[in-house]
C-alpha cells in the first residue's frame, strides 16, 4: 500500500503495508533486556479492600499494576530533560513523528578495553536530507533482546562521533544499546551533552532513543521513521519506533 507524505519540502513515497517495529517487547521476565541495575518489570493484579484484579483468582476483570523504569526496562525515547536541571518533558520536545531516517550498521572498535564507535565510521555516510540516524551495532545477535547490560561496559559512541552526527543535521538518534555514553564515565555523559548542546545552546527538539533492535532483514539505507511514544509526562517514555520502506 503506497502512501505519500511531505517532509520538509520533500515528497516521500513509502510502503505502509511493510512496517518494521524496532522496539523490544517488555515482559516481566529475567531474560528481557534491561540496564542500569533495574529489576525486571513487574505486572501484578490489584488485590486490596476485597477487590481481586485477577479473573483466574475469582475477580471479574484483570486489573494490574505495572512497575518499570523507562530508561532501564526496554526501548525508550528521551529528551534533554534526562540530563538537565530544568524540567523538560519528552511529549513537548518531540514535535516530529514522521521523520526521514537512515539505518547504518557499525562494528564498534576496541580502544583501551572498550568497544567504541568513532567519527571515521560515520564520516561521509550520512545521506542528504536525513533527520534521524538509526545505529545498528555489529554483530547483530538476537541476544540483544535479552541482555542484562548492567556492569557489562557496553559499546558506546565517542563524543567526536556524536558531534559529527549532530552537525550533519541529525535531530533524532536511535541506537540498539542502553546509552550513547560509556556505562561508567563519572557522570559526564559527554555524548548526551554534546548531542543536546546542553547547557550552552540547548536543543530541546532533539531526541535519543535507546535499546532498540534492528532486524537483520532491514538493510542499511533510507526509511520513513514513525516514533510512537507512550503519553507519560517525563523526560523519557517507552516508545515504539516503526520503519517503513521508501519507494524510490
Q: What is the pLDDT along the chain (248 residues), one digit of tens a residue?
A: 789 999 888 899 999 999 999 999 999 999 999 999 999 999 999 999 999 999 999 999 999 999 999 999 999 999 999 999 999 999 999 999 899 999 999 999 999 999 999 999 999 999 999 999 999 999 999 999 999 999 999 999 999 999 999 999 999 999 999 999 999 999 999 999 999 999 999 999 999 999 999 999 999 999 999 999 999 999 999 999 999 999 97
| pLDDT score at 248 | 79
Average pLDDT, the chain: 97
Residue 181: which of 170, 193, 189 has the closest Cα? 189
pTM over 0.85: yes
> For 2-38+70-245, which CATH superfamily applies?
Putative cyclase (3.50.30.50)
| pLDDT score at 1 | 78
| pLDDT score at 32 | 96
Give the number of other Cβ atoms within 10 Å of residue 11's Cβ. Answer: 8
Q: Quick one: cell of 25? A: 517487547
Amino acid at each position: 500500500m503506497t502512501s505519500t507524505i511531505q517532509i520538509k519540502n520533500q515528497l516521500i513515497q513509502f510502503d505502509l503495508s511493510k512496517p518494521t517495529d524496532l522496539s523490544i517487547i517488555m515482559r516481566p521476565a529475567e531474560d528481557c533486556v534491561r540496564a542500569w541495575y533495574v529489576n525486571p518489570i513487574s505486572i501484578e493484579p490489584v488485590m486490596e479492600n476485597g477487590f481481586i484484579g485477577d479473573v483466574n483468582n475469582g475477580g471479574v476483570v484483570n486489573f494490574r499494576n505495572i512497575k518499570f523504569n523507562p530508561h532501564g526496562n526496554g526501548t525508550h525515547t528521551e529528551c534533554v530533560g534526562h540530563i538537565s536541571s530544568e524540567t523538560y518533558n519528552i511529549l513537548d520536545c518531540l514535535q516530529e513523528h514522521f521523520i526521514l531516517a537512515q539505518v547504518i550498521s557499525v562494528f564498534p572498535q576496541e580502544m583501551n578495553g572498550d568497544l567504541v564507535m568513532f567519527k571515521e565510521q560515520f564520516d561521509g555516510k550520512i545521506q542528504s536530507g536525513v533527520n534521524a540516524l538509526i545505529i545498528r551495532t555489529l554483530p547483530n545477535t538476537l541476544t540483544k533482546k535479552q541482555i542484562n547490560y548492567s556492569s557489562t561496559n557496553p559499546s558506546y559512541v565517542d563524543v567526536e562521533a556524536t558531534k559529527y552526527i549532530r552537525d550533519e543535521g541529525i535531530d533524532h538518534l536511535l541506537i540498539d544499546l542502553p546509552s550513547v555514553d560509556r556505562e561508567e564515565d563519572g557522570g559526564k555523559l559527554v555524548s548526551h551533552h554534546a548531542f543536546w548542546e546542553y547547557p550552552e545552546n540547548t536543543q530541546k527538539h532533539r531526541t535519543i532513543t535507546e535499546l532498540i533492535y534492528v532486524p537483520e532483514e532491514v538493510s542499511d539505507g533510507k526509511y520513513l521513521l514513525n516514533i510512537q511514544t507512550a503519553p507519560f509526562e517525563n523526560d523519557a517514555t517507552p516508545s515504539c519506533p516503526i520503519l517503513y520502506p521508501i519507494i524510490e
